[in-house]
Chains A and B, each alone.
Chain A
Amino acid sequence: MEVTRRNFMKITGATAAGVAVSQLGFDLSPVKSHAQMIKTSYAKETTTICCYCAVGCGAIVHTSKKGDGRVINIEGDPDHVINRGSLCAKGAAISQLTENDNRMTEPMYRAPYSKKWEKVSWDWALNEIAKRVKETRDATFTKKNDKDQVVNRTTGIASVGSAAMDNEECWIYQTLMRALGLVYIEHQARI
């Protein structure tokens, strides 16, 4: 996604930083030289919508085209008609949500009575979860309620979440949970 138009402001009296600063005629320190560079100059730009409140502000994500391909900068999208480039304290911090050493990057497992987490593979984790779902579902499935009405459900499994997921994810999630027979399906909107 290319962002094509920006509300660039005009610089009067200076065309390029390099010219203006070098006229001073002395050696440039780090601060001076960084005036000529901009960290987002060669980054990939994508648009996003802020992940916090529901105002739905637009932001531009600058991702490094080189090296680790990580986020360099995230700031308000000036072409977004709601926020026009602005962001609050949380929105201004999305880059730190993304590039954050506290994030989980591997599936983890806590065994019964254990005091610790163990790193596990996706393959193992999802297979084990699928087995638990089937086991519990098969054991607790109710075809008919006590009034002999067909209900085809399980009250042995419950789900909460999530308003943090995308629309498409919410839709397939509820479809899967309902097909499994869950009726305890709730999320943030209730609380």
Chain B
Amino acid sequence: MTNHWIDIKNSDCILIMGSNAAENHPISFKYVTEAMENGAKLINVDPRFTRTSAKADFYTALRSGTDIAFLGGMIKYIMDNKLYNYEYVRQYTNAPFIVNKDFNFKDGLFSGYDKEKRAYDKKKWAFDMDEDGVPKMDRELADERCVFNLLKQHFNRYDVKTVSSITGTSEEDLLTVYKTYSATGVTGKAATIMYAMGWTQHTVGVQNIRTMAIIQLLLGNMGVAGGGVNALRGESNVQGSTDHCLLWHIWPGYLGTPRASMKKLSDYHEKNTPKTNDPLSANWWGNKPKYMVSTLKSFFGKNATKHNDFGYNWMPKVDNGVHYSWLDLFDEMYKGNIEGFFSWGQNPACSGTNAGKNREGMKNLKWMVNVNLFDNETGSFWNGPGMNPSTIKTEVFMLPACVSVEKEGSITNSGRWMQWRYQGPKPLGNSRPDGDIIMDLGDRIRKLYENDPGAFPEAILNLKWDYLTHGEYDPHKVAKEINGYFLKDITVKGKAFKKGTLVPSFAYLKDDGSTSSGNWLYCNSYTEKGNMSARRSGKDASNNIGLYPEFSWCWPVNRRIIYNRASVDLSGQPWDKENPVIAWNGKKWEGDVPDGGWPPMLTEDGKPNPKAKHPFIMRPHGHAQIYGPGRADGPFPEHYEPLECPVAENMISGNSQLVNPTAAIYSTKADAHASCDARFPFVGTTYRVVEHWQTGLMTRPQPWLMELQPQMFVEMSEELGKLRGIENGERVKVSSARGSVECSAIVTKRFKPFKIGGVDIHQIGLPWHFGWRWPESGAEESANLLTPPTGDPNTRIPETKAFMVNVAKLT
């Protein structure tokens, strides 16, 4: 989230689309309700009427996989009716930037497409630069090659009639949403978007969010209270586990994983550190070398020296142009190319798309380590439906982890708040904290390599691995390492620091090995003042907008609303006087921790201030990106159908590409897909419900929650029920090109058929909370046995939100 949970109360209009907050983030409704009590409008757009819809001022449905069309229509509406916040758009976004004439869009393809590689040459999408190497701009937004006009032209095809025929939403409903939401383009009004996996899990996932980000920028809703682009993250620490890079492509704090071509640390710095020639651009990522070296110092401690490039080459590198993501990992496992597998606090036999392929892949492993609270479908895969244990060689080690209340440590919520948890009871039986297991395993592996070096022992033996106190894992030691230390007596920015003390914030990190920081984004979280994440003051800040700056701690540097420098005008005065995030008092900023302490763009006498910086400090040019030339699938969003879809042609004019031409595709025999196929005539989607969580592993073994939601189910319209002769509550079979699942039918008014291109298209929905291990009947299986083998080209997040299925009565 760019903002945070409590801030939702400051909104004037809340759009819940691509998420179901009332069910999956229930406590968020404390603040949605508060906003509504104060007059905010709640709009909900979802293929099916949910518990969120039940509370909305306005609900309308769209067919799964058509969000760009829906939102693209809103961009056109905003442009046509000039509802954008002109001053904000021309000053703070890249709308004035002039795009080189190599960029174009024809027949559904942006310039630079390579059919063989299914990829674009992004050099074709560059900005025109002036003689100083700064992007050329037209702040009056008149130049026909400026981003603003290219945007207008691009979305001109998204008229309400076309959009309606794609999404199945009535023209009237589309206009109601557009009008209500875009009313917040007025200065002083804010609208927020609450989205989740309903937007990310598509072959156009990133562009779904880009489309909304463009709307938020056009309306001046970024950086302000009650605004922002707010991803509602679904797991208690998925924000923290992402920040701490349990992902192949990043290192701590979103540093890129070193590529094979980056032979030396200097190559890494060169390739990864963005540059700017604009003196008004802060270009914060220009500090990357400081963060990278400090990370390496945390990895390898005193073994990392300037002489050995701080151990840069001890860590693994990934090949250029190759993906190692979830889909690729299980593709390799399925092909028999992986021997050993850790499934640590996760359940890929149910959680991954096309889970049947994952389960088959597990048969090819030599060994698996499964760490969890409960036995699960992954650890016991060899004992699952259709498996014959006597033919499966895989050894499985199942290790019991303890529950969160039985250990100490921190987690980071969706609003980026790092919060400390304490130990209540001791771990049950012989279960142990994950941290204890990790340290113990690491110690044993290191001992083996000490005794017998084997292959490349350097990284393992040089690792700083001293996070025990009295022989037990000590989360405080790790938390301090993540924050970072001064490694010698040193003066930074005029302040003297002692060796061995904690670094007060990332502004003091160095690229010469004199500081460590396991994750620069968390530098400031555990300082000489103590554990900031454990703070519990209920006092609000002076601006009284619910920041609670001394309750826990949030990254970066306790800034509660990021991009907050865009919440003020050029003189530093808040656009919204009632809910100011920050304000310039003539000498400094007041309110939230500002996005950099530089003065406003204009001096007191209204002249450009040479000491100022553009507000979007993480972008090389300091401006928010309406035009995003870094994306894999185009600098502007475009509607493409899901890989599996019910239509034969893309109904947007000027686009003959049916599916995102850069979508990730896999081709083993387990990767079947079927579009416009009479065997699978209905659109399917997956979701969560309040009573369960994720694959259900932390809810299905719980009787109270099973009482509430006991069985796998499928929701369908009364019209579809009638068509298939299915009565409410009957058991049915839902099948796709990949597999089938038995479900209890919920035949409901909450689903309605869609009119798509004049034809009735039915959609069904399934929760993905079930699996054969719990309940013990073994009859309730995972919806991911149905979901398709494809994903977004940028993130490679699988497309589990839109695919094609059939539904039939169980005979």
**B705 and A89 form a contact (CB under 8 A):** yes
A132 nearest CB across to chain B (Å): 5
Q: Given A113-B389, A115-B389, do A168 and B454 touch, yes or no (CB 8 Å)?
A: no
Partner-contacting stretch, out of A8-16, A17-25, A30-38, A183-191: A183-191
A101 nearest CB across to chain B (Å): 9
A contact residues around B703 at 8 Å (CB): 96
- The reply to whether the CB of B666 lies closer than 8 angstroms to some CB of chain A is no
B contact residues around A162 at 8 Å (CB): 241, 246, 344-346, 371, 434
B247 nearest CB across to chain A (Å): 6
- The reply to whether the CB of B329 lies closer than 8 angstroms to some CB of chain A is yes
B411 touches which one: A56, A137, A152 (CB < 8 A)?
Answer: A56
Contact code string B393-409 (vs A, CB < 8 Å = 1, else 0): 11111111001111101
Instruction: Name A141's closest neighbour in chain B (CB-CB).
Output: B455
A contact residues around B317 at 8 Å (CB): 149-153, 183
A50 nearest CB across to chain B (Å): 6
- The reply to whether the CB of B810 lies closer than 8 angstroms to some CB of chain A is no
Contacting A at CB under 8 A, from B15-64, are: 24-28, 30
Contact code string B427-441 (vs A, CB < 8 Å = 1, else 0): 011111111011111
Indicate the member of A88, A115, A188 with the most B CB atoms within 10 Å. Answer: A188
**A127 and B444 form a contact (CB under 8 A):** yes
Q: How far is the CA of A105 from the CA of B352 in the complex (A)?
A: 26
**B694 and A190 form a contact (CB under 8 A):** no
A contact residues around B383 at 8 Å (CB): 115
B contact residues around A41 at 8 Å (CB): none
Contacting A at CB under 8 A, from B445-489, are: 445, 447-449, 452, 454-456, 459-460, 463, 465, 467, 475, 478-479, 481-482
- The reply to whether the CB of A125 lies closer than 8 angstroms to some CB of chain B is yes
Contact code string A157-185 (vs B, CB < 8 Å = 1, else 0): 11111111111111111111111111111
Q: Given A166-B411, A186-B325, do A133 and B332 touch, yes or no (CB 8 Å)?
A: no
**A98 and B27 form a contact (CB under 8 A):** no
B contact residues around A158 at 8 Å (CB): 329, 332-333, 338, 340-342
- The reply to whether the CB of A145 lies closer than 8 angstroms to some CB of chain B is yes
Main secondary structure of the interface of A (DSSP, over half): mixed
Which range contains the number of A residues in contact with the other chain?
A: 35 or more
A160 nearest CB across to chain B (Å): 5
Partner-contacting stretch, out of B216-224, B412-420, B742-750: B412-420
Indicate the member of A46, A83, A102, A122 with the most B CB atoms within 10 Å. Answer: A102
A104 nearest CB across to chain B (Å): 4
**A61 and B435 form a contact (CB under 8 A):** no
Q: How far is the CA of A190 from the CA of B746 in the complex (A)?
A: 30
Instruction: Name A171's closest neighbour in chain B (CB-CB).
Output: B244
Q: How far is the CA of A62 from the CA of B375 in the complex (A)?
A: 26
Q: How far is the CA of A74 from the CA of B481 in the complex (A)?
A: 32
Q: Given A138-B454, A163-B237, A188-B346, do A110 and B398 touch, yes or no (CB 8 Å)?
A: yes
B398 nearest CB across to chain A (Å): 4
Q: Given A104-B398, A126-B440, A166-B409, do A156 and B456 touch, yes or no (CB 8 Å)?
A: no
Q: Given A63-B424, A93-B705, A109-B398, do A104 and B374 touch, yes or no (CB 8 Å)?
A: yes
- The reply to whether the CB of B326 lies closer than 8 angstroms to some CB of chain A is yes
A contact residues around B518 at 8 Å (CB): 171, 175
B685 nearest CB across to chain A (Å): 15
Instruction: Name B389's closest neighbour in chain A (CB-CB).
Output: A115
**B548 and A81 form a contact (CB under 8 A):** yes
- The reply to whether the CB of B796 lies closer than 8 angstroms to some CB of chain A is yes
Partner-contacting stretch, out of B87-95, B228-236, B564-572: B228-236
Q: How far is the CA of A61 from the CA of B412 in the complex (A)?
A: 19
A109 touches which one: B395, B410, B459 (CB < 8 A)?
Answer: B395
Q: How far is the CA of A62 from the CA of B24 in the complex (A)?
A: 26
- The reply to whether the CB of B701 lies closer than 8 angstroms to some CB of chain A is yes
Q: How far is the CA of A136 from the CA of B563 in the complex (A)?
A: 46
Closest 10 CB pairs of A and B: A105-B429, A56-B413, A162-B345, A166-B409, A153-B316, A161-B344, A61-B424, A88-B26, A168-B478, A141-B455
Q: Given A161-B344, A164-B346, A170-B241, list of 12 further CB < 8 A pairs?
A: A48-B424, A54-B237, A61-B405, A88-B690, A97-B698, A110-B394, A150-B263, A155-B338, A169-B434, A187-B246, A187-B247, A189-B238
Query: Which residues of A are at the interface with B, using a C-beta cutoff of 8 A?
Result: 1, 44, 46-58, 61-63, 69-71, 74, 79, 81-84, 86-91, 93-94, 96-100, 102-115, 117, 122, 125-134, 136-141, 143, 145, 147, 149-191
